[in-house]
Amino acid sequence: MFICSTAALSRLLTPAEFGIYTVVNAVVIVVSASFQEFGGANYLIQKKRLSEEHIRTAFTITFCISAVLALVLLSCSHVFARVFEQGGMKAAIAVSTLNFALTPFSIVISALFRRNMEFGKLAICGLAASATSLGVAIALAMRDYSFLAPVWGTVAGNVALTVLLIGFCKRRSMLRPCFRELRDVLTFSVYSGGVSIVNVLYALAPQFLLARFLDFSAVGLYSNAVAFAKVFDRLVVQVLSPVIMPAVVSRNRRNGDLKRIYLHAMALLSVVHWPFLVFLAIMAEPIVLLWLGAAWIEVVPLARMICIGSLSLFVASLTYPILVAIGSVRDALITSVISLPPSLLVIFLASFVGVKAVAASAMLTLPFQGGVAIYFIARHLDIGLVDVLRATFKSAIVTLSTAGTAALCSAMVECGLLLPLLGVALACISASMSWLLVLALTEHPLLPRLRAIGRALYRIPNPPARTRRDSFG
């Protein structure tokens, strides 16, 4: 749905219209980050003994902060319209504030489902919400609602999500107001909320800076370049994210070896993340032409630079869960404070040069952030450089083989020997075959996982295991 919605809206909206929507969405996300972690998902998941008073207090705090911030944002909508010199932003922000009445319900209920590993219910709710959002956005865009189309689509998706989650929730009494555990909730949420706000501000700063110093067309180009580079996150990391926190916390409660878990996960993630991003960077031009259309061809160099920079974030999804599991949520905030302000300064300076400079800064800032995060984890888990190299060495070999195959197909497309569609299809097939072959030749740790999936699909019984490894994958 992400791929389809991006393709459809890229053809129905101009880069400038897409840029306006992106800035409005960024404003709402930054404000939302201010309350979503105050009693939000991570507090409810990591709590060892969770009572109904904890849940009710968390919901009450989230709802109260959400209501106040919605009113503040609504009253300041004209200020944003004046700052960015776009009068339409006022109406878009007003519509977006409707989400604030819905978010507290979805935050708390989905967190409880995640804690209880009820991912089937979350999958149904998420699928229905995505379909609703996509349908409404495309329908309104076709009726010339411009940048308001995806804004209304988001609201419609949140309505569907909230209604379904409440329908699945058996104990709705948990959503009654309560302040009995206020101190306990706020003690955790101060650090957790700080991490969320700092990270969200950094992630969305380029859109604000480009809109302020350049134009909304630059914002649209950069946003789609980021969306291009984040395809892996949308298809893989966002699938794993709801599972990672409860899985790591649960394993730590059972005295699991977090060092081995982290290194094993590092090997598994790198062998998928690195080849995927390298493939996207090499095949960027034909993919953009097919996916977004010829009007977005300027996205290609931006996407390539962001993909290269993003290679260093292959274990970013594990940083926060690991630090929370070992009781060092404060270090999660310190990690963000150390790495993000210098990165933001680089982006700020690059925004005066142009959108390409902002994209190029990712090749400097993202490796720095990834290095800081790994350093803090390594310090707590007693991981050395040799451990990291040993965990990722085979993944690097697999990545190089995949890159070579993709580069050959890309060269054939650029020389006119293959049409873009045929080139992308051939590159996908040949790169996948190369990936699997080298995976087998190197005996990568992911290989047993793939074999287990294959046996499950074809109902082949597993062979007797000599020892059962307690690992996270």
Taking Cα atoms as reference points, which of 12, 28, 295 lies closest to residue 134? Answer: 12
Which residue range forms the structural domain that includes residue 195? Answer: 1-204
Task: Count up the domains in the chain and report the number.
Answer: 2
* Domain's final residue, options 154, 175, 204: 204
> Per the domain annotation, does 61 fall within a domain?
yes
Separation of alpha carbons 97 and 80, rounded Å:
14
- Do both 80 and 200 map to the same domain? yes
For 88-103, how does the pLDDT look when each residue is reduced to its tens digit (9 = 90+)? 888 888 898 898 888 8
- Do both 200 and 282 map to the same domain? no
Rounded to whole angstroms, the maximal C-alpha distance in the chain is 70
- Do both 163 and 263 map to the same domain? no
- Say if CB 283 and CB 424 are below 8 A apart: yes
Q: What is the DSSP letter of 37?
A: T
SS (H, E, C) 38-105: CCCHHHHHHCCCCCHHHHHHHHHHHHHHHHHHHHHHHHCHHHHHHHCCCCHHHHHHHHHHHHHHCHHH
Cα-to-chain-centroid distance, residue 451 = 28
- Do both 9 and 145 map to the same domain? yes
* Domain's final residue, options 153, 182, 204: 204
- Do both 174 and 246 map to the same domain? no
Angle value at C-alpha 178, between 177 and 184, nearest 5 degrees: 140
Out of 69-73, 280-284, 443-447, the most confident range is 280-284
* Domain's final residue, options 152, 173, 204: 204
- Do both 299 and 385 map to the same domain? yes
- Do both 157 and 262 map to the same domain? no
> Per the domain annotation, does 471 fall within a domain?
no
- Do both 230 and 173 map to the same domain? no
Interval 51-68 mean pLDDT: 80
The CA–CA distances, whole Å, from 460 to 238, 398, 451, 453, 457 equal 29, 27, 10, 10, 8
Contacts of 2 (CB under 8 A, 6+ apart): 130, 231, 234, 235
Interval 236-261 mean pLDDT: 72
- Do both 178 and 218 map to the same domain? no
Separation of alpha carbons 114 and 125, rounded Å:
13
For 319-358, how does the pLDDT look when each residue is reduced to its tens digit (9 = 90+)? 877 887 777 777 777 888 888 888 888 988 988 888 899 9
pTM of the model: 0.72
Higher pLDDT, 417 or 288: 288
- Do both 30 and 139 map to the same domain? yes
- Say if CB 147 and CB 21 are below 8 A apart: yes
pLDDT of res. 53:
78
